[in-house]
Amino acid sequence: MKRMTAEKAGKRRRGRIYLTLLAILAGCLAFASMMLKLQGRIPWPYLLAGGIDCALALLLAVLVDRKIPASIRSIVPVGVLLSLVGITQITRIDLEYAQNGSPTDFGLRQMIWLAVALAISSFAVAFFADYRKLRSLSYAFMAIGLILLALPLVPGIGERVNGAKVWVKFGGFSWQPCEFAKLFLAIFFASYLFTHRDKFQEKSKVGKVKLPRLKDAGPLAAVWILVAVILVAEGDLGICLMFFALFAGMVYVASKKKIWVICGAAAFVVLFFASAGLFPTFSSRIDIWLHPFSKQLYFRSYGSSYQVVQGLFALGAGGLFGTGFGEGYPALTPFANSDFIYSSLVEQVGFVGVCLLLLMYLCLITAGFVIAMRTEDGFGKLLASGLAFSLAFQIFTIAGGITLVLPLTGLTMPFLASGGSSLTADWLILVLLLVIDKSPKPSVGAEGTGILDLSAIRRSK
């Protein structure tokens, strides 16, 4: 029996490494075919950076194999493949920019950032033994998260891009602090909700309507309102929506009460319409969503629908199987390597390719919820489910905005879009999920929390 168990564990571990190798091979083949088709060679900086990325990806897979052998096998391979596909597409757009006389090197930068993200992930898997220690620093994380959010408002370092002031610039280096603020605030929300989980079951009556008690909801609501005020002041409703999804998802999982989600949704609707009246960027996005092919909007100098329409044309040009990497004109859409990388990538891979892409995202989201359900610690359940829900919500709003199902939000596609801060934050989400899967033992007092408690379901069966 022990021998059979050991053999199964060995096969599982080899399977994870084989999947990562397969993801590396697929990503490298896509990149090499694109570069050889357009340039006839692969420049040595790309070979060097790509080799480092592949080595670090394999190292991460081996470390997960050693430290967390029972973890879900698809997380690292899918993250690696998505990152490599994003690098291929960003580099493809760089080459088209170069043909048009405006050369850029965003693809090479993305390779460097992927190496940084994989190195940090490997270090965390190797040396971060117990995520539950984060609970003791939850209020410090809250303060850090709020400071990071407000950093772009500081005169001299904040930079406004496309109407939103969410970038911080030091010299020639720019980054989005809100990407990391999301992780810090997620830890605070999970810790607060877990610590006060019993109080969230109690309600007060306002007439015939039962509402959560103000003294229980007050501190959490205060942080959420402060986050919303900061983000509205920065002019980015998309990131505000992402934080709302993270907050609402965690509250619902912790309390199992729909009233919390309803209250949060009502507050967000009020904020949305108030912001639409105060900031022209929000109202113009509504107009573009409702009337994208209007001549007046299409030729407008500010808040034009040109980008959305070009993205729709790119989606249609992809057809069933796409033009293939190295073909087509993906750079015609403005910000094709960041905000609209989804549409430019669909042009290359087509409907079939984007379905496979969305299936890979579904694997990561499903893995996050599975980790949340099988972890016995209530804090880990909340953190894992919140991160998985926010990732799912971000993917849905981006794809929905580009396809006109929803108004544009200004968010970027995880792992694919150009940007070092977003790529690093995306990998840190995967690392947190892996580390949570590493420590299944419950925190003190976690039993009987009712948070994603599957044991009661099993007993009833």
pLDDT at position 116:
95
Q: For residue 381, with 0-12 CB atoms within 10 Å meaning exposed, 13-18 middle and 19 or more buried, which class applies?
A: buried
Q: CA 344, CA 314: separation in Å to the nearest integer?
A: 6
CB 209 within 8 A of CB 259: no
Amino acid at 6: A
In order of 265, 282, 339, the CA distances from 289 in angstroms are 21, 11, 16
Q: Quick one: which H or E segment has residue 44?
A: helix 44-67
Instruction: Retrieve residue 305's tokens.
Output: 């629908």
Q: Where are the domains of the chain?
A: 135-278
* Residue ranges of E strands in 50-208: 158-161, 164-170, 173-175, 203-206
Q: Which helix (H) or strand (E) holds 272?
A: helix 258-278
Cα–Cα distance measured from residue 394 to residue 417, given in angstroms and rounded to the nearest whole number: 13
Pairing status of strand 209-212 against strand 203-206 = antiparallel
Other beta carbons within 10 Å of 345: 30
Q: Cα separation of 377 and 439, whole Å?
A: 8
From first to last of its 461 residues, the chain has per-residue pLDDT tens of 444 455 555 555 667 889 999 999 999 999 999 999 988 889 999 999 999 999 999 999 999 988 888 888 899 999 999 999 999 999 999 999 988 888 889 999 999 999 999 999 999 998 887 888 888 888 899 899 888 888 888 877 777 766 667 777 776 677 888 888 889 988 998 888 888 776 665 555 555 555 566 666 677 778 877 887 777 776 777 777 777 778 877 888 877 777 767 766 776 677 667 666 666 667 777 888 888 888 888 888 777 888 888 989 988 888 888 888 888 888 888 888 888 899 999 999 999 999 999 999 999 999 999 999 888 888 889 999 989 988 998 898 888 888 888 887 777 899 999 888 899 999 999 999 999 987 655 444 444 344 444 333 333 33
> Per 3-state DSSP, what percentage of the chain is helix, strand, and coil (rounded to 5)?
70, 5, 25
Residue 82: per-residue pLDDT: 96
| CA pair distance 156, 69, nearest whole angstrom | 47
Separation between Cα atoms, residue 314 and residue 316, nearest integer Å = 5
Q: Tokens for 38?
A: 């357009």
Pair 217, 361: CB distance under 8 Å: no
Beta bridge partners of residue 170, listed in sequence order: 173
Q: How far is Cα 16 from Cα 14, in angstroms, rounded to an integer?
A: 5
